[in-house]
Structure 1
Amino acid sequence: MTTSPKPAQRTVADPLDVLHTRTSVKWSLYPADVLPMFVAEMDFPLAPEIRAALAETISRSDTGYANALSSGLPEAFSAYATEVWGWAPDPSLMRTTTDVSVVIVESLRRLVRPGERVIINPPVYPPFYDLVEEAGGVVDEVPLLDDGESFSLDLAGIDTALRGGARGVLLCNPHNPVGLVPSREVLTELSRIVAKHGGFTLSDEIHAPLVHTGVEFTPYLTVSEEARAHGIAAESASKAFNLAGLKSALFVTAGDVMSRMVTGLPDEVSFRTGHLGIIAARTGFTESRGWLAGTIAAIEHNLSVLESALADQLPAARLRRPQASYLAWLDLTELGWGDDPAAVALERAKVALHHGPAFGAPGTGHARMNIACAPDTITEAVTRLARAAV
């Protein structure tokens, strides 16, 4: 006789009086009467194992430079990926750096020449636009397909853009902000399209550890030999374990050309990795799986809270349940709040959401809400928005 696994105990958010003592951008940008639900920071306390590891490190005054060459982070990530996704990337083909944005921009500097086009799929993480430009490239938008019920990658559109001269694809997998987790079949076909045109795929997989129950995440570098030959994955513990300020991420490769490019990066790219970031990320991947399961359970519960609150109080708002992470993409078009409803929400409701148009033209009339918080915060936010909509 077998028994079902015991459900994870939901992680509980810190109370507001504690949260208001934080000094990160989420809690310092707006006055105290504004509910900050814009930037991707969690309101949950750190995993206890990470907190203990950092406290022990501080107690030794061990706050110097990171030894990126023997940090143990690539090995920790590889072990995590093997256990969770059935993928055993080679630690020797990885490099550490400060964050996923640096993985992206330093890779693009070497993958595109000035003026060459890089495909992105809006609505998408706003810094993608800036990172392509910073690397000397030009953004080529191939928006997600939207059939009114679900989103998907426009493979035919990507094929056309590559045929027209675009150099490669900057992929968001899982996708921020809509929470799309492309299937293995879709990613395999994408890899074949990119290979056919001699391009590259740079896959931002920062939200991968936060896929929801019953959803299968597929690392891009696992789908085909073509993907391994032309792909780079940007990996980090920062979103899963709420470590953005500690600064560590990984370039991950699996093919000769990309591996030589990454292992040949200037030493400074790795030397700038945060020492505390390495310790926290390594501890997250190796010791904090229970906390992560509880956090995902809390996020899934909060999605249900949000769905119920919107149905009861703000039925004009539309939410399609994401497959990953803690970001809710809200279609607020029917409220009549214009192209950027987040601006109206801040002014009238004192709820700070992320501005939809920043994610590209498909973000018009939309806003992104961070639901990694207490359920009561979500209910209060919807109540405020509903009052402002009257």
Structure 2
Amino acid sequence: MPHRFDALTAEHMRAGGSWKWSTPGESHGRGLIGAFVAEMDYPVADAVADAVRASADGSRFGYLPDGWVADMAAACSAFWGDRFGWAPDPAWVRPVPDVLTAFTATVRHFTRPGSAILLPTPAYMPFLTVPAMLGRELVQVPMARSGERFVLDLDAIDRGFAGGAGLLVLTTPHNPTGRVFDASELAAVAEVVERHGARVFSDEIHAPLTFGDARHRPYVTTSGAAPGHTITATSASKAWNLPGLKAGQVVLSNAADAAHWTATGYLAEHGTATPGVLASTAAYRDARGWLDEVLAYLEGNRAHLAAADLPGIDVTVPDGTYLAWLDARGLGLAEPPSAFFTREAGVVMTDGAACGEAGRGGMRLNLAVSHPVLTDALDRIRSAIRSM
């Protein structure tokens, strides 16, 4: 039976005004399909919409009070406890506008001054550019391959720390490859980090978005040492499609870090939006059914991608996130593949080079569109390949 999300046509999304669908132009007489920005096309959960309406009706646009922060922290902790088996102390769950704000605060307040930052690549694009803005050297650590899976290169991470780096940026589930790291791999990371007295910034914003047998494991739960060296960041923004509401969470996991955050975290917390906090509370507490519906719908899109015939492209179907990695090096293009497919197929994807040197020749494809839009996008990509 048709799903209600199937009615979300490209024309409907272009009229909606989101950044994801705002790229101007067309290809061969057809409008462009937005498949680059990491947001979903799906309408938000009723509980979230009700919370935003209540914010407007009640003029809840003032500065964020402690009580609403506490409510969000409790809802976040309860969700994580039920979903992932780890319920952090709500007093150690603090508000931030987004994960990048949490990252910036972590670099400034929880790492050695001037120390380099290690980043497994391909990576979420801002993690490659923000360190320089903070006066830090970035060391790219290309991920390795084990069969068809992307894996963390522990030896390279070890060498990076030995060379003086002080922080590892860990994104799990991984953006842009969709890898959900297993507990043993994360425990091995913790061993390397602890041996060097280093820190981890664990970006777990996609934690609720896993498929099949893959299960998200909070990094801090995979080793007895991990809570002592980790700052975890998350948000309801990806799983419930709320990025514009600007409300994320920093999760501290030891008393010393919690005390240090209390002393230094004011500016990082200050930009958090009151309606976003109320919406996030509703998402964690009252919109789990909507999330399950979305996960089931995305399963269909993952299966559709897995079955697609895209000659010359090595497709990595994600175990987590709604972001797929397409390695187009087999096409032998003389230009970035994203440029080719924007022009020839009208499908706008993130170019892999923006994700680091290890991503050059690849693309990130957003699967969180309607089934008909994904079908059109894959058909266009296939036709563009065959017309080369």
CA contact (8 A) 1:320 1:329 kept: yes
- What amino acid maps onto 1:255 in structure 2? N
> Which digits, 9 at most, give the CA deviation of each residue in 1:342-381, with x for residues without a partner?
0111112111010111011111111111010111111211
Cα distance, 1:224 vs structure 2: 2.3
Secondary structure at the aligned position of 1:76 is classed as helix
Matches within 5 A, 1:61-80: 61-68=59-66, 70-71=68-69, 72-80=71-79
Contact 1:194 1:201 in 2 (8 A): yes
- Residues 136 and 112 of structure 1: is their aligned pair in 2 closer, same or farther, counting only changes over 3 Å? farther
Give runs of aligned pairs for residues 198-277 of structure 1, distance below 5 A. Answer: 198-277=197-276
Q: Give distance in 1, aligned partners of 2:374 and 2:94.
A: 38
Quote how far apart the aligned CAs of 1:17 are.
3.7
Contact 2:20 2:39 in 1 (8 A): yes
Query: Which among 11, 18, 28 is matched to residue 24 of structure 1?
Result: 18
Shift in alpha-carbon separation, 1:208–1:125, aligned structure 2, 3 A: same
Instruction: Give the secondary structure class of the aligned counterpart of 2:325.
Output: strand
Displacement of 1:48 in angstroms is 1.4
Q: Structure 1 residues 293 and 189 mapped into 2: Cα distance closer, same or farther (>3 Å)?
A: same
Contact 1:237 1:281 survives alignment (8 Å): yes
Evaluate the alpha carbon distance shift between residue 351 and residue 197 of structure 1 in structure 2; reply closer, same or farther with a 3 A threshold.
same
| Alpha-carbon contact 2:37-2:366 (below 8 Å) kept | yes
CA gap 1:379/1:246 in 2 versus in 1, 3 angstroms? same
Residue in 2 that maps onto 1:340: 336
Question: Hey, what's the Cα distance between the residues in 1 that align with 2:307 and 2:186?
Answer: 33
Q: Cα–Cα, structure 1 residues 57 and 69, in superposed 2: closer, same or farther, change >3 Å?
A: closer
- CA displacement 1:53-87 (0-9 Å, x = unmatched): 21222222322222256421111110001111110
1:36 maps to which residue? 34
Q: Separation in 2 of the partners of 1:171 and 1:10?
A: 35
Is the CA contact 1:106–1:135 (under 8 Å) kept in the aligned structure 2? Answer: no
Aligned-residue offset at 1:19: 1.6
Does the 8 A contact of 2:44 with 2:241 survive in 1?
yes
Q: CA separation in 2, counterparts of 1:46 and 1:12?
A: 15
Residue 368 of structure 1: aligned partner: 364
Note the 1:271-310 alignment, pairs <5 A. 271-309=270-308
Q: Is the 8 A contact 2:6 2:372 kept in 1?
A: no
Give the partner amino acid of 2:64. Answer: A
Q: How far 1:10 sits from its partner (Å)?
A: 8.3
Q: Is 178-187 or 13-22 further displaced after alignment?
A: 13-22
Between the aligned partners of 2:321 and 2:4, the Cα distance in structure 1 is 15
Offset of 1:336 from its aligned partner?
Answer: 2.4
Q: Distance in 2 between matches of 1:194 and 1:113?
A: 14
Aligned counterparts of 1:125 and 1:266: Cα–Cα separation in 2: 24
Q: For 1:30, give the aligned amino acid.
A: P
CA distance, structure 1, for counterparts of residue 314 and residue 152 of structure 2: 21
Distance 1:180 1:67, change over 3 A: same
Alpha carbons 1:100, 1:206 under 8 Å: kept: yes
Offset of residue 240 of structure 1: 0.4
Aligned counterpart for 1:326 among listed residues 322, 329, 333 = 322
1:6 maps to which residue? none
Are the counterparts in 1 of residues 200 and 231 from structure 2 also a CA contact under 8 Å? yes
User: What is the SS of the residue equivalent to 1:165?
Assistant: coil
1:131 Cα offset (Å): 2.2
2:344, 2:77 → 1: CA distance? 47
CA contact (8 A) 1:205 1:233 kept: yes
8 A contact 1:13–1:373 mirrored in 2: no
Distance 1:175 1:165 in 2: 25
Q: Which amino acid aligns with 2:40?
A: M
Question: Is this contact kept in 1: 2:33–2:377, CA < 8 A?
Answer: yes
Q: How does 1:49-128 map to 2 (within 5 A)?
A: 49-68=47-66, 70-71=68-69, 72-128=71-127
More deviation, 287-296/11-20: 11-20
Letter in 1 for 2:283: G
Shift in Å at residue 271 of structure 1? 2.3
Distance 1:340 1:380, change over 3 A: same
Contact 1:238 1:244 in 2 (8 A): yes
Q: Secondary structure at the match of 2:202?
A: strand
Q: CA RMSD in A?
A: 1.8
User: Residue 364 of structure 1 aligns to which amino acid in structure 2?
Assistant: R
Structure 2: distance between partners of 1:364 and 1:157 = 19
Moved over 4 A (4+): 9-13
After superposition, give the CA deviation of every residue in 1:211-232 in whole Å (9 maximum; x if it has no partner).
Answer: 1132111101112231111101
1:116-162 per-position Cα deviation (integer Å, ceiling 9, x unaligned): 21111001111101222223211111111114511111112111211
AA of the residue aligned to 2:208: P
1:266 deviates by 4.2
Indicate the residue corresponding to 2:350 in structure 1. Answer: 354
Question: 1:14 — aligned with what?
Answer: 8
Which runs of 5 or more residues in structure 1 are unaligned?
A: 1-8
Flag the 1:156–1:280 CA change in 2: closer, same or farther, 3 A: same
Cα 1:387–1:68 shift into 2, 3 Å: farther
Q: Report the count of equivalent residues.
A: 379
**8 A Cα contact 1:188 1:223, kept in partner:** yes
